[in-house]
């Protein structure tokens, strides 16, 4: 199929806000893609392969500018200027290639398969990591070559694809529905979703859709290809937890670490994150532990990797450095040692997804040989609220997040929050904070102050410091009341922003406290909500209290 056909669909999709229309445009495209369906589906998501394959193009904006320079014959300065005025490198590529078109005879038309093949080659070079500079030059030439065969409109989307940033509002749900419309008259979206959750590969799903329902149903778990992790719903009370998962339930410590789905195939190990990235290289220690302590040639276990040093939990924020780090891995491994806490098993010589959790647990106990680096998640099986309570207390006392409650009878349901597994986190202590600034709202709420800046009190420096911004979570009546109270306190207005005398205090609930590089207190509340006005107090809580709560989470 010609790339211009795909580009026409990109344009049509970009023009509409309606999801239904986007779906129809893609369905039409997929019906007409013939042999190029798999490539077309991937490219419509702006990707050349699923993320877990680790095939990234690794082209920065700066490199793309060089590529446009080579392809268009324009100067770097000119490209940068157009980029600045257009605000988007894809649009800049279009403009630059349009200038060139006037000077050349049209060559052959670009094909979808040709683009996919070339971009995959570039990504494979990147993966193999041949000498960096040779690589970059070769890479630039290969992409420039494609770009110079592109018509201006094609150049625009090609450039964005190369940057891995298509930005036209096509998500996985839209692709699923479009495949459904194209091949099953919109009757099969659940089955397509199941197939996708199982394979995380729209190429495979599309191929099966084209072949028919039977093939789609056959798509199953495969080793070294991650499945979506089963997700947890949140419950407020232990009773609600039991209502959801049944009695007795398995109750685990909820660790504050990184979800890792670990695959063993013929004794070889791969580690995937919850977002399905392959992080095996970043965790050589975990790989080794699995090689030595998991007695199974072919299996998949679901685990939490927890940062632990001298018996103390390392917060996730620190642990996450290990996920991102591509160099100095050994050094970081010593700085941030980890423990593996397995809690589920999806495969042991055959799929265990349809087995009950009870059976999966039994299989898990058989394959994992515990030692100080790998230990099954702390767990009790109980029907009693008081047992869950004491386990939760134990979890919190040892620096963990809370508990998970799990149905013993349920199967493993990838990708969904079906309530087979629920999380119970303790309610955070509230904070009393001052409103130190706000913003005049727009639209329906204009005339009211919103986006309230919340401040705590820094005792040492005797000043207010920002810890959060309350944007939602206020009813109209509350917004009106807040505005009435704040209006007389305005010190200065700057556009829509107002600075306020910090005299109105609120009791604030929130999900958690995070470190913040933007707020001057160094902390940020996640999802702050108004509990009530604190007219009885004239100073907000101190920064020390915020710090203490942060540490205790
Ligand atoms: P949340 O991220 O708040 O939705 O909570 C769900 C996450 O808790 C899972 O994705 C796991 O990464 C993590 N987790 C920690 N301990 C456990 C456990 N024992 N069982 C299941 N998930 C756990």
- Note the helical H segments in 265-380: 284-293, 316-324, 329-335, 357-367
Please name the residue whose Cα sits nearest to atom 11 of ligand 1: 259
**Residue nearest (by alpha carbon) to ligand 1 atom 1:** 232
Residue indicated by tokens 């639209």: 443
| pLDDT number for residue 104 | 55
Q: Check: CB of residue 308 under 8 Å from CB of residue 301.
A: no
Ligand 1 centre to CA of 422 (Å) is 9
At 523 the pLDDT is 96
Nearest-atom index, ligand 1, CA of 252: 19
| Per-residue confidence (pLDDT) for residue 134, from 0 to 100 | 65
Cα–ligand 1 centroid distance for 231 (angstroms): 8
Phi-psi category of 399—alpha, beta or left, where left has phi over 0 and alpha has psi -120 to 50? left
Nearest CA to ligand 1 atom 8: 254
Question: Which residues does ligand 1 sit against, CB inside 6 Å?
Answer: 232, 252-255, 259, 274, 304, 343, 377, 404, 423
- The pLDDT tens digits along the chain (553 residues) read 999 999 999 999 999 989 999 999 999 999 999 999 999 999 999 999 998 998 989 899 999 999 999 999 999 999 999 999 988 899 999 999 998 865 555 567 999 999 999 999 999 987 766 556 667 889 999 999 999 999 999 999 999 999 988 988 898 999 999 999 999 999 999 999 999 999 999 999 999 999 999 999 999 999 999 999 999 988 889 999 999 999 999 999 999 899 999 999 999 999 999 989 999 999 999 999 999 999 999 999 999 999 999 988 998 878 988 998 888 899 999 999 999 999 999 999 999 999 999 999 999 999 999 999 999 999 999 999 999 999 998 998 888 889 999 999 999 999 888 899 999 977 678 899 999 999 999 888 888 999 999 999 999 999 999 999 998 768 888 889 999 999 999 999 999 999 999 999 999 988 889 988 889 999 999 889 888 888 888 899 999 999 988 886 6
Q: What number does the ligand 1 atom closest to the CA of 256 have?
A: 15
CA of 425 to the centre of ligand 1 (A): 11
Residue of the CA atom closest to atom 4 of ligand 1? 232
- Distance from C-alpha of 503 to C-alpha of 509, rounded to nearest angstrom: 19
d(C-alpha 477, C-alpha 2), whole Å: 57
Whole-number Å distance, alpha carbon 402 to ligand 1 midpoint, is 10
Distance in Å, CA 423 to ligand 1 centroid: 8
Among 22, 95, 204, 254, the active-site one is 254
Q: Which of 193, 165, 169 is nearest to 179 (CA)?
A: 193
Q: Are 467 and 519 in contact (CB under 8 A)?
A: yes
Q: Report the residue among 313, 404, 410 best suited for mutation to probe ligand 1: largest number of ligand atoms under 8 A from its CB.
A: 404
Picking from 336, 344, 342, 279, the residue whose alpha carbon sits closest to that of residue 305 is 342
**What residues contact residue 111 under an 8 Å CB cut-off, 6+ apart?**
1, 2, 3, 36
Position 275 scores a pLDDT of 86
Residue 423: both structure tokens together: 């999380």
Mutate to test the pocket of ligand 1, among 228, 232, 400 (most ligand atoms within 8 A of CB): 232
Can you give the pTM of this predicted structure?
Answer: 0.79
306 alpha carbon to ligand 1 midpoint, in Å? Answer: 11
Alpha helices in 262-419 (DSSP H): 284-293, 316-324, 329-335, 357-367, 385-397
Nearest to 177 by CA among 185, 167, 169: 185
Cβ of 215: how many Cβ atoms within 10 Å? Answer: 15
- Please report the pLDDT score of residue 102 as a whole number: 57
Distance CA 284, CA 268 (A): 12
Are 232 and 404 spatial neighbours (Cβ–Cβ below 8 Å)? yes
Q: Where are the beta strands (DSSP E) in 446-500?
A: 449-458, 463-470, 490-494, 497-500
Nearest residue to 322 (alpha-carbon basis) of 230, 257, 256: 257
**Pocket perturbation via mutation, ligand 1, pick of 255, 308, 364, 428 by most ligand atoms within 8 A of CB:** 255
Q: Rounded CA gap, 553 and 541, in Å?
A: 17
Q: Is the preceding peptide bond at 248 cis, omega within 30 degrees of 0?
A: yes
Task: Mark whether 406 is an active-site residue.
Answer: no
Using the mean position of ligand 1's atoms as its centre, give its distance from the Cα of residue 508 in Å.
Answer: 26
**Ligand 1: residue whose CA is nearest its atom 10:** 259
Query: In whole angstroms, what is the distance from residue 160 CA to residue 459 CA?
Result: 50
| Domains in the chain: ranges and CATH | 47-162 (1.10.3260.10), 230-423 (3.30.470.30), 431-552 (2.40.50.140)
Pocket test for ligand 1, best of 304, 403, 424 (most atoms within 8 A of CB): 304
**Ligand 1 centroid from CA 403, angstroms:** 9
Predicted local distance difference test score (pLDDT) of residue 550: 87
CA 239 to ligand 1 center in whole angstroms? 19
Helix (H) or strand (E) holding 337: none
């Amino acid at each position: 199929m010609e790339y211009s056909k795909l580009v026409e669909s990109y344009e049509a999709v970009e023009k509409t806000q309606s999801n239904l229309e986007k779906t129809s445009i893609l369905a039409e495209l997929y019906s007409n893609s013939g042999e190029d369906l798999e490539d077309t589906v991937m490219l419509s998501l702006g990707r050349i392969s699923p993320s877990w394959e680790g095939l990234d193009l690794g082209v920065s904006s700066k490199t793309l500018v060089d590529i446009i320079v080579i392809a268009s014959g324009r100067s770097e300065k000119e490209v940068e200027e157009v980029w600045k005025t257009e605000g988007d490198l894809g649009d800049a590529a279009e403009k630059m290639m349009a200038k060139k078109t006037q000077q050349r005879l049209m060559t052959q038309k670009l094909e979808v398969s040709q683009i996919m093949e070339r971009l995959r080659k570039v990504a494979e070079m990147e993966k193999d990591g041949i000498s960096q500079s040779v690589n970059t030059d070769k890479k630039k030439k290969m992409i420039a070559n494609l770009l110079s065969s592109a018509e201006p409109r094609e150049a625009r989307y090609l450039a964005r694809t190369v940057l891995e940033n298509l930005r036209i509002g096509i998500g996985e749900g839209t692709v699923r529905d479009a495949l459904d419309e194209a091949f099953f008259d919109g009757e099969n979206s659940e089955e397509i979703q199941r197939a996708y959750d199982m394979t995380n590969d729209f190429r495979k799903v599309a191929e099966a859709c084209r072949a028919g329902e039977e093939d789609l149903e056959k798509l199953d778990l495969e080793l070294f290809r991650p499945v979506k992790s089963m997700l947890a719903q949140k419950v407020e009370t232990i009773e609600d937890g039991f209502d959801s998962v049944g009695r007795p339930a398995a109750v685990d410590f909820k660790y504050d670490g990184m979800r890792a789905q670990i695959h063993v195939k013929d004794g070889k190990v791969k580690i995937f994150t919850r977002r399905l990235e392959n992080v095996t290289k970043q965790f050589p220690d975990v790989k080794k532990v699995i090689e030595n302590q998991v007695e199974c040639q072919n299996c998949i276990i679901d685990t939490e990797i927890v940062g632990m040093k001298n018996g103390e939990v390392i917060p996730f924020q620190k642990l996450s450095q290990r996920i991102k780090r591509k160099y100095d891995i050994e050094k970081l491994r010593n700085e941030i040692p980890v423990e593996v806490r397995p809690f589920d098993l999806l495969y042991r010589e055959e799929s265990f997804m349809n087995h009950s959790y009870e059976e999966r647990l039994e299989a898990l106990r058989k394959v994992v040989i515990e030692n100080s680096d790998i230990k099954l998640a702390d767990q009790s099986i109980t029907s009693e609220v008081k047992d869950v309570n004491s386990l939760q207390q134990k979890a919190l006392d040892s620096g963990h997040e809370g508990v998970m409650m799990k149905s013993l009878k349920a199967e493993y349901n990838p990708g969904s929050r079906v309530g087979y597994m629920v999380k119970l986190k303790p309610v955070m202590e509230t904070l009393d904070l001052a409103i130190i600034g706000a913003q005049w709202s727009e639209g329906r709420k204009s005339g009211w102050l919103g986006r309230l800046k919340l401040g705590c009190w820094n005792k040492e420096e005797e000043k207010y410091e920002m810890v959060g911004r309350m944007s939602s979570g206020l009813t109209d009546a509350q917004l009106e009341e807040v505005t009435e109270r704040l209006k007389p306190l305005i010190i200065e207005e700057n556009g829509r922003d107002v600075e306020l005398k910090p005299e109105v205090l609120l009791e604030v609930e929130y999900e958690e406290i995070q470190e913040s590089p933007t707020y001057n207190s160094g902390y940020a509340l996640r999802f702050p909500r108004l509990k009530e006005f604190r007219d009885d107090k004239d100073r907000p809580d101190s920064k020390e209290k915020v710090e203490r709560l942060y540490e205790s989470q």
